């Protein structure tokens, strides 16, 4: 918020971009054998329920037995804020006793940070550290959001896992945003593996990818970084001598083909990449050709997604004949960085709202009607109130759960996205035709 | 004679009688809040006097008790002093002594033991003040909560250090040396007579058992957690999750309709995001009984997310500019400012800034304290909401305000309004957990306000001066079940001044009840022989039997009406909660089972015939593993239709065979 020369200030609305801490929760949720220990009151646990319960039916972080994998020191009063070290050490010992061999991510809330709690020192001083894999997490950072928090967990993992003396693997694919333990994200991992195997890569290591994460050093022959590999994760890779090649997200037809070609180039397997693309397109295009031409062409969609998924989705929607008059960026990516909340700019694809507010989204729907919205569910209630279909993918997905393999990455993901778009539009047309004969 | 063999109230009665017998003219003796004693005297001429025994500490103990005589003649006080000393020597009482003078610090923590000095004098179920019995004594971090009950009347007091931040929002605070008593809940109708003044007794007791340097401190950091590794959870996996202090408040503020109220959240984005940003996404706490919105409406919230720079340099000036901008937009703006922890830690004087820009009644500072599990924030926001929006309006007959039954969008709202309309009563405003500004503005048009009898509502409105407005407040059991709904409608009619329900209105209500009983009959038949398990282990799970704790639902009565039998599992070492004892008197449809450790509870539950289990834990794998279908409080809906819907859900649960068929495949 910045005062203008007139002395007037803009009144900020409320943005629903998840905070840094949420990204930490996502990272922990993606590693089944992990514990998050926080020096904080209990509220992070309550916040975490959005990730562990509402967003993820398959999460094992929250347990009905009370043995949750998020443990807070549970300050019960302001007087406890500065004095959490004893409780932290006790919780650390308990966690080490109960979760031997687990990754233990140590984190704190902003109040703890402000009071100067020495997280790393406490972790070093903690007994039982030998029984767990301790990973101190920086932050929370107020100038970063959930993508920064996820990167902090990923970076912590990579520092431990990637080593010059580790077990050799063909390929490390870093920076997969594993949002939940449901069959959209699992299927994403399967699809990435399938595509990589088509390039001749045997048993690629994908981080993060759900399930248990062995504490086993790896020495990748090649390292590919998906866009969610942030500065911390990249630094960890470089330090371990595994400087990554950056690629985009394999979303949509063209996006996935580009992704395959980029990896093929890196591995020196371009012909295999081209053969794979050809084979896949022969399968996929006939399945979606009439849908694109007859149902999607000319429709208008809004995108609600982080900078990486959002950019890929805008491109895919354009590829399928939809126009995108608005992209609501739910996170700070490399390009929108530095832009202040609520700012917007013109792009060929339409307007881009950085750290959008509910007010902006609501007025956008009024001013610039769209046929549907696709992306994370933060604004879904506003769209549903206005009768606009909403296809949920990515994080968060509070109101759509996936019980059978339904990726949104790769060629298989493109097919699923088209299916979702089609069904949403058909349903909307039914409703509209019923009310507007 | 000791405190344990009789109440202090009785003792003081005997003391007054003894002094009167010795010619002191003493009519009554009352404790004073600073540890002194007040003597109501009458001299030979019939003139009234009040003498006061000073709260002498250790420093003048040798000189004996010292009296302030007020208007009483000196000879009368000398006689009183001698008689008092004789009585006290013959009838010693621990609360006439001064103990704990040298206590420097008292550590109170959640789930921890009380200091010995209070364990002796404050015994739940035994300690009394007049007809109020100490029902519960719960230490939290840095606070001691004492609940006194007299029948339906309940008073909840909180003892803290005088510097405790929780006192910031408290409307009634009684200082006791370095400590302070504050009123958390209060069902008494003012004016409160001395016999009902439990705070007077408690303040006296604290003053007599602590010293001038005594402070209370908390140590939440060392308290066991109920929700992570607490022993309670180890033993009983069916405990409820704790409540996050401010979640209900946020739900209320985000679900209101209107435009004058702006919720300004001042602090870090993580803290603000404690609340689910989606409409009707249930919160994991007691609020989830109400279908409240939990999503910010466009234009209603102003989020001031701190940057690193704000944390270092403070944000008061920018807050002031923001507030001025809001006031420029709407001079009648009302601000609910949510001050998050970090703002408080860095010492932003948000109250000072607010006072600079806005009138006192135009803002409230909501401080979602870490430990505020006792509706502290609610108790602050709701009285303010009423104050900030209600306007003087002409009163209209036969209108009623409903408090604690949800908003207009609740599934039962239309039915309840219809039942009242059939009796000639209109609903003027609905309040709690959501509200509409325009309804609050006309709140005083209704001569009667009916609040639900449950702790969540009681606590939220504890700070409302019910005698201040023209609308008379009454508390009724909420309308759960067919009988409960009938009683509720009759109660509203009676309270609004119509006397007992009669004539066509009564016939209409009876017809509606009969129709629903007919709907209920086949469901009851389907439920015949089915039962539900209720597990009670300790104070954590006694909530099931306390109507006040579960939205006013008299659970055993309701389950019987809906056709279910009940199996109650009690821990062998824990006496049955008082609410339970009261509720099961003379009932044949309730079976008791006891257990003594977690394994035994699991075995008992596994062997029980109950197919259903009342719980508040979501994703209840332990319950499913035992073949039990979790039933949540939200299953039970108010109203006649609500009763039928509730019964249908229970019947569906009772005939659900999924667990039997596929139980062995389930993930434990």
Structure confidence at residue B300 as a pLDDT band (50, 70, 90):
confident
User: Quick one: pLDDT at residue A337?
Assistant: 37
User: Quick one: pLDDT at residue A62?
Assistant: 84
Residues A49, B284: C-beta atoms closer than 8 Å: yes
Give B331→chain A minimum CA distance, Å.
15
Q: CB under 8 Å to A385, separation ≥6 — which residues? A: none
The angle subtended at Cα A344 by Cα A342 and Cα A349, nearest 5°, is: 135
Distances (CA, A) of B173 to B160, B169, B177, B308, B499: 10, 10, 12, 37, 39
Could you tell me where the beta strands, DSSP code E, fall in B395-528? 399-403, 426-431, 448-452, 472-476
Best residue of B143, B159, B221 to probe chain A, by most A CBs closer than 10 Å: B221
A60: chain B residues, CB-CB within 8 Å: none
Same domain, B115 and B203: yes
Residue B484 has pLDDT above 60, yes or no: yes
Same domain, A183 and A308: no
Q: Cα–Cα distance between A39 and A428 in angstroms, integer? A: 48
Same domain, A41 and A160: no
User: Quick one: pLDDT at residue A183?
Assistant: 98
Distance of CA A411 to the CA centre of its chain: 19
**CATH code, domain carrying B458:** 3.40.50.1980
Tokens read off for B437: 């500004």
Least confident of B93-102, B290-299, B445-454: B290-299
| Cβ A235 vs Cβ A292: under 8 Å | no
Residue B239 has pLDDT above 50, yes or no: no
| Cβ B290 vs Cβ B478: under 8 Å | no
Residue B28 domain-assigned? yes
User: Quick one: pLDDT at residue A128?
Assistant: 56
Structure confidence at residue B539 as a pLDDT band (50, 70, 90):
very low
The most confident of the ranges A284-293, B202-211, B570-579, B615-624 is A284-293
Structure-model confidence comparison of residues A219 and B229, the more confident one: A219
Structure confidence at residue B601 as a pLDDT band (50, 70, 90):
confident
Residue B651 has pLDDT above 70, yes or no: yes
For B119, the enclosing helix (H) or strand (E) is helix B116-121
Same domain, B286 and B364: yes
Pairs across A and B, CB distance < 8 A: 224
Distance of CA B360 to the CA centre of its chain: 27
Tokens read off for B432: 């709690």
Residue B231 has pLDDT above 50, yes or no: no
Q: Cα–Cα distance between A432 and B532 in angstroms, integer? A: 46
Residue B662 domain-assigned? no
B109 touches chain A (CB under 8 A): yes
B178-203 mean pLDDT: 85
The tally of domains found in chain A comes to: 3
Q: CB under 8 Å to B74, separation ≥6 — which residues? A: none
Same domain, A216 and A167: yes
Same domain, B401 and B469: yes
Same domain, A218 and A352: no
Same domain, B404 and B300: no
A272 touches chain B (CB under 8 A): no
Same domain, B509 and B540: no
Could you tell me where the beta strands, DSSP code E, fall in B455-530? 472-476
Residue B181 domain-assigned? yes
Q: Positive or negative, the Cα torsion across B277, B280, B284, B288?
A: positive
Residue B244 has pLDDT above 60, yes or no: no
User: Quick one: pLDDT at residue B59?
Assistant: 42
The tally of domains found in chain B comes to: 5
Residue B500 domain-assigned? yes
Residue B542 has pLDDT above 80, yes or no: no
Query: Beta strand pairing status for B531-536 and B565-571?
Result: parallel
Residue A44 domain-assigned? yes
Residue A282 domain-assigned? no
Q: Cα–Cα distance between A397 and B562 in angstroms, integer? A: 37
Residue B577 has pLDDT above 60, yes or no: yes
SS3 category, A73: coil
User: Quick one: pLDDT at residue B585?
Assistant: 78
The most confident of the ranges A10-24, A413-427, B441-455 is A413-427
Q: CB under 8 Å to A205, separation ≥6 — which residues? A: A169, A171, A172, A173, A218, A220
Residue A1 domain-assigned? no
**Tokens 């919105």 belong to which residue?**
B293
Structure confidence at residue B666 as a pLDDT band (50, 70, 90):
confident
Could you tell me where the beta strands, DSSP code E, fall in B219-300? 261-267
The angle subtended at Cα B67 by Cα B65 and Cα B69, nearest 5°, is: 165
**Domain end among B50, B77, B96:** B96
Residue A5 domain-assigned? no
User: Quick one: pLDDT at residue A3?
Assistant: 36
| Cβ A34 vs Cβ A210: under 8 Å | no
Chain A 108-167, CB below 8 Å of chain B: which residues?
Answer: 109-111, 114-115, 140-143, 145
Q: Cα–Cα distance between A354 and A15 in angstroms, integer? A: 10
Residue A6 has pLDDT above 50, yes or no: no
Residues A9, B325: C-beta atoms closer than 8 Å: yes
User: Quick one: pLDDT at residue B236?
Assistant: 37
Q: What is the DSSP letter of A19?
A: B
Same domain, B344 and B409: no
The angle subtended at Cα A358 by Cα A353 and Cα A364, nearest 5°, is: 60
Tokens read off for B184: 């958390």
**CATH code, domain carrying A173:** 3.40.50.1980
Residue B403 has pLDDT above 60, yes or no: yes
Residue B611 domain-assigned? yes
Same domain, A113 and A166: no
Residue B385 has pLDDT above 60, yes or no: yes
Residue B287 has pLDDT above 50, yes or no: no
B35-43 mean pLDDT: 90
Structure confidence at residue B141 as a pLDDT band (50, 70, 90):
low
Residue A147 domain-assigned? no
Q: Cα–Cα distance between A431 and A423 in angstroms, integer? A: 12
Same domain, A309 and A245: no
The most confident of the ranges B32-46, B91-105, B505-519, B526-540 is B505-519
3-state helix, strand, coil in chain B (%, to 5): 40, 20, 40
Same domain, A265 and A320: no
User: Quick one: pLDDT at residue B44?
Assistant: 86
User: Quick one: pLDDT at residue B223?
Assistant: 27
Least confident of A33-42, A47-56, B192-201, B268-277: B268-277
Ramachandran quadrant class, A96 (left: phi over 0; alpha: psi -120 to 50; beta: rest): alpha
| Cβ B139 vs Cβ B114: under 8 Å | yes
Residue B580 has pLDDT above 80, yes or no: no
**Tokens 């937009």 belong to which residue?**
B329
With pLDDT > 90 as the criterion, what percentage of chain A qualifies? 65
Residues A8, B325: C-beta atoms closer than 8 Å: yes
The beta-carbon neighbor of A16 closest among B219, B277, B329 is B277
Residue A23 has pLDDT above 60, yes or no: yes
User: Quick one: pLDDT at residue B62?
Assistant: 54
Helix ranges (H only) for B136-263 are: 198-209, 231-235, 247-255
Same domain, B478 and B354: no
User: Quick one: pLDDT at residue B575?
Assistant: 65
Residue B225 has pLDDT above 50, yes or no: no
**Tokens 């404790």 belong to which residue?**
B31
Chain B 356-375, CB below 8 Å of chain A: which residues?
Answer: 368-371
**Domain end among A108, A141, A174:** A141
| Cβ A96 vs Cβ B259: under 8 Å | no
Same domain, B404 and B462: yes
Tokens read off for A252: 């949509």
The beta-carbon neighbor of B228 closest among A13, A66, A140 is A66
**CATH code, domain carrying B596:** 3.40.50.2000
Q: State ipTM.
A: 0.85
| Cβ B86 vs Cβ B65: under 8 Å | no
Helix ranges (H only) for B285-337 are: 308-313, 316-329
Same domain, A161 and A131: no
**Tokens 């960890």 belong to which residue?**
A236
Domain that holds residue B128: 105-220
Residue B38 domain-assigned? yes
User: Quick one: pLDDT at residue B283?
Assistant: 44
A67 touches chain B (CB under 8 A): yes
Helix/strand number for chain A, H first, E second: 14, 14
The most confident of the ranges A129-138, A400-409, B127-136, B338-347 is A400-409
Q: Positive or negative, the Cα torsion across A95, A30, A389, B297?
A: positive
Residue B58 has pLDDT above 50, yes or no: no
Residues B226, A66: C-beta atoms closer than 8 Å: yes
Same domain, B377 and B394: no
Ramachandran quadrant class, B665 (left: phi over 0; alpha: psi -120 to 50; beta: rest): alpha
Q: What are phi and psi of B558, to 5 degrees?
A: -65, -45
User: What are residue B480's DSSP bridge partners?
Assistant: B638
Q: CB under 8 Å to A350, separation ≥6 — which residues? A: A323, A324, A325, A326, A327
Tally of residues, chain A: 437
Same domain, B51 and B109: no
User: What are residue B157's DSSP bridge partners?
Assistant: B146, B183
Structure-model confidence comparison of residues A63 and A161, the more confident one: A161
Closest CA to B403 of B441, B378, B431: B431
Sheet holding B37-42, edge to edge: B26-31, B37-42, B48-53, B67-68
| Cβ B636 vs Cβ B532: under 8 Å | no
Angle between helices A253-267 and A185-198 (to 10 degrees): 50
A22 touches chain B (CB under 8 A): yes
Same domain, A307 and A194: no
Structure-model confidence comparison of residues B294 and A86, the more confident one: A86
The most confident of the ranges A102-111, A251-260, B2-11, B602-611 is A251-260
| Cβ A88 vs Cβ A37: under 8 Å | yes
For A318, the enclosing helix (H) or strand (E) is helix A307-319
Structure-model confidence comparison of residues A338 and B311, the more confident one: B311
Q: Positive or negative, the Cα torsion across A312, A315, A318, A323?
A: positive
Query: Beta strand pairing status for B363-366 and B301-305?
Result: unpaired
Same domain, A312 and A213: no
| Cβ B537 vs Cβ B236: under 8 Å | yes
User: Quick one: pLDDT at residue B420?
Assistant: 97
For A303, the enclosing helix (H) or strand (E) is strand A300-305
Same domain, A312 and A402: yes
**Tokens 């306390």 belong to which residue?**
B546
Residue B87 domain-assigned? yes
**Domain end among B341, B356, B387:** B387
Structure confidence at residue A76 as a pLDDT band (50, 70, 90):
low
Least confident of B58-72, B408-422, B551-565: B58-72
pLDDT digits (tens, 9 = 90+) for A148-158: 999 999 999 99
Residue A78 has pLDDT above 60, yes or no: no
User: Quick one: pLDDT at residue B558?
Assistant: 92
Q: CB under 8 Å to A25, separation ≥6 — which residues? A: A36, A47, A48, A51, A52, A61, A70, A149
| Cβ A428 vs Cβ A374: under 8 Å | no
User: Quick one: pLDDT at residue B242?
Assistant: 45
Residue A9 domain-assigned? no
**Domain end among B63, B96, B129:** B96
Distance of CA B336 to the CA centre of its chain: 22
Residues B301, A13: C-beta atoms closer than 8 Å: yes
Residue A55 domain-assigned? yes
Same domain, B115 and B169: yes
User: Is residue A309 reached through a cis peptide bond, with omega within 30 degrees of 0 on the bond before it?
Assistant: no
User: Quick one: pLDDT at residue B588?
Assistant: 75
User: Quick one: pLDDT at residue A333?
Assistant: 55
Same domain, B260 and B214: no
B632 touches chain A (CB under 8 A): no
Tokens read off for A309: 């998924």
Q: What are phi and psi of B183, to 5 degrees?
A: -90, 120
**Domain end among A116, A141, A166:** A141
Structure confidence at residue B171 as a pLDDT band (50, 70, 90):
low
Domain that holds residue A34: 20-141
Structure-model confidence comparison of residues A422 and B296, the more confident one: A422
Residue A62 domain-assigned? yes
Residues B221, A72: C-beta atoms closer than 8 Å: no
| Cβ A378 vs Cβ A16: under 8 Å | yes
Instruction: Compute the mean pLDDT over every residue in chain B, rounded to the nearest whole number.
Output: 81
Structure confidence at residue A88 as a pLDDT band (50, 70, 90):
confident
| Cβ B101 vs Cβ B93: under 8 Å | no
**Domain end among A113, A141, A169:** A141
Same domain, A397 and A318: yes
Please name the residue of chain A whose CA is at the shortest distance from the CA of residue B224: A74
């Amino acid at each position: 918020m910045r005062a203008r020369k007139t002395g007037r200030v803009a009144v900020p609305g409320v943005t629903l971009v998840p905070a840094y801490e949420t990204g930490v929760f996502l990272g922990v949720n993606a590693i089944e054998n992990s514990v998050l220990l926080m020096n904080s009151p209990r509220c992070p646990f309550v916040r975490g329920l959005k990730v562990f319960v509402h967003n993820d039916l398959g999460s094992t972080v929250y347990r009905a037995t009370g043995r949750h994998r998020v443990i807070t020191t549970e300050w019960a009063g302001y007087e406890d804020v500065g004095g959490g070290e004893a409780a932290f050490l006790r919780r650390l010992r308990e966690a080490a006793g109960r979760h031997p061999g687990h990754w233990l991510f140590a984190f704190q809330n902003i109040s703890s940070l402000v009071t100067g709690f020495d997280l790393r020192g406490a972790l070093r001083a903690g007994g039982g550290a030998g029984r767990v894999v301790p990973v101190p997490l920086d932050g929370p950072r107020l100038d970063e959001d959930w993508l920064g928090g996820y990167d902090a967990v990923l970076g912590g993992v990579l520092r431990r896992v990637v080593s010059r003396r580790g077990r050799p693997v063909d390929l490390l694919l870093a920076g997969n945003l594993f949002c939940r333990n449901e069959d959209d994200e699992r299927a994403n991992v399967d699809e990435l593996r399938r595509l990589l195997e088509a390039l001749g890569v045997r048993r690629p290591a994908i981080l993060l990818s759900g399930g248990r994460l062995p504490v086993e050093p790896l020495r990748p022959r090649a390292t590919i970084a998906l866009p969610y590999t942030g500065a911390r994760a990249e630094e960890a890779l470089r330090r371990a001598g595994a400087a990554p090649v950056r690629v985009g997200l394999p979303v949509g037809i063209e996006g996935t083909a580009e992704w395959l070609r980029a990896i093929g180039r890196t591995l020196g397997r371009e012909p295999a990449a081209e053969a794979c693309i050809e084979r896949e397109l022969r399968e996929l295009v006939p399945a979606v050709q009439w849908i694109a031409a007859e149902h999607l062409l000319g429709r208008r969609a809004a995108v609600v997604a982080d900078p990486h998924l959002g950019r890929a989705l805008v491109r895919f929607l354009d590829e399928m004949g939809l126009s995108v008059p608005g992209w609501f960026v739910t996170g700070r990516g490399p390009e929108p960085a530095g832009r202040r909340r609520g700012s917007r700019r013109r792009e060929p694809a339409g307007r881009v709202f950085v750290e959008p507010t509910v007010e902006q989204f609501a007025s956008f729907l009024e001013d610039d009607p769209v046929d549907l919205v696709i992306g994370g569910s933060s604004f879904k209630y506003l769209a549903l109130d206005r009768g606009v279909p909403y296809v949920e993918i990515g994080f968060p997905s509070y109101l759509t759960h996936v019980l059978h393999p339904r990726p949104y990455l790769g060629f298989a993901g493109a097919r699923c996205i088209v299916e979702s778009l089609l069904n949403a539009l058909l349903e909307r047309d039914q409703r509209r035709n019923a009310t507007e004969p | 004679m000791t405190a344990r063999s009789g109440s202090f109230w009785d003792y003081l009665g005997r003391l007054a009688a003894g002094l009167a017998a010795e010619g002191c003219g003493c009519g009554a003796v009352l404790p004073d809040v600073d540890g002194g004693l007040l003597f109501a005297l009458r001299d030979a001429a019939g003139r009234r006097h009040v003498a006061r025994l000073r709260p002498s500490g250790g420093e003048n103990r040798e000189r004996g008790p010292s009296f302030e005589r007020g208007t009483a003649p000196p000879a009368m006080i000398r006689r009183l002093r001698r008689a008092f000393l004789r009585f006290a020597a013959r009838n010693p009482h621990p609360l006439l002594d001064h103990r704990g003078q040298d206590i420097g610090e008292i550590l109170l923590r959640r789930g921890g033991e009380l200091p010995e000095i209070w364990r002796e004098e404050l015994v739940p179920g035994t300690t009394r003040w007049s007809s109020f019995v100490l029902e519960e004594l719960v230490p939290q971090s840095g606070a001691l909560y004492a609940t006194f009950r007299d029948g339906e009347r309940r008073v909840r007091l909180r003892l803290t250090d005088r510097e405790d931040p929780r006192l910031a929002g408290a409307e009634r605070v009684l200082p006791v040396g370095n400590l302070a008593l504050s009123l958390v809940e209060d069902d008494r109708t003012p004016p409160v007579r001395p016999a009902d003044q439990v705070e007077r007794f408690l303040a006296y007791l604290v003053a007599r058992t602590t010293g001038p340097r005594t402070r209370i401190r908390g140590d939440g950091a060392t308290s066991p957690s109920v929700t992570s590794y607490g022993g309670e959870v180890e033993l009983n996996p069916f405990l409820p999750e704790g409540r996050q202090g401010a979640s209900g408040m946020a739900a209320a503020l985000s679900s209101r309709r209107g435009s004058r109220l702006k919720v300004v959240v001042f602090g870090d984005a993580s803290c603000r995001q404690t609340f689910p940003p989606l409409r009707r996404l249930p919160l994991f706490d007691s609020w989830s009984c109400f279908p409240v919105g939990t999503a910010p409406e466009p234009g209603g919230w102003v989020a001031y997310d701190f940057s690193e720079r704000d944390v270092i340099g403070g944000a008061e000036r920018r807050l002031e500019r923001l507030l001025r901008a809001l006031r420029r937009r709407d001079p009648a703006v009302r601000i609910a400012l949510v001050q998050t922890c970090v703002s408080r830690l860095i010492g932003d004087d948000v109250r000072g800034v607010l006072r600079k820009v806005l009138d006192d009644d135009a803002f409230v500072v909501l401080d979602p304290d870490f430990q505020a599990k006792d509706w502290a924030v609610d108790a602050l926001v709701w009285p303010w909401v009423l104050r900030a929006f209600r306007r003087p309006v002409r009163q209209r007959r036969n209108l009623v305000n409903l408090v604690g039954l949800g908003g207009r969008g609740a599934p039962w709202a239309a039915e309840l309004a219809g039942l009242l309309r059939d009796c000639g009563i209109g609903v003027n405003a609905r309040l709690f957990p959501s509200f509409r500004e325009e309804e609050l503005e006309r709140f005083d048009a209704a001569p009667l306000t009916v609040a639900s009898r449950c702790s969540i509502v009681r606590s939220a409105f504890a700070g409302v001066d019910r005698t201040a407005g023209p609308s008379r407040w009454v508390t009724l059991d909420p309308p759960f079940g067919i009988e409960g709904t009938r009683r509720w409608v009759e109660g509203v009619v009676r309270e609004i001044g119509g006397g007992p329900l009669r004539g066509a209105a009564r016939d209409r209500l009876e017809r509606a009840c009969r129709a629903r009983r007919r709907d209920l009959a086949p469901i009851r038949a389907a439920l015949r022989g089915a039962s539900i398990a209720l597990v009670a282990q300790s104070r954590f799970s006694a909530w099931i039997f306390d109507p006040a704790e579960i939205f006013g639902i008299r659970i055993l009565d309701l389950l019987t009406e809906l056709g279910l039998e009940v199996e109650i599992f009690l821990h062998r070492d824990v006496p049955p909660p008082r609410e339970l004892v009261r509720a099961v008197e003379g009932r044949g449809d309730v079976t008791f089972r006891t257990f003594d450790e977690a394994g035994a509870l699991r075995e008992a539950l596994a062997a029980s015939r109950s197919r259903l289990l009342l719980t508040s834990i979501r994703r209840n794998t332990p319950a499913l593993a035992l073949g039990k279908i979790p039933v949540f409080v939200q299953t039970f809906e108010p109203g006649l239709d609500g009763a039928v819907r509730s019964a249908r859900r229970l019947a569906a649960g009772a005939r659900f065979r999924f667990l039997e068929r596929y139980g062995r495949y389930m993930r434990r």
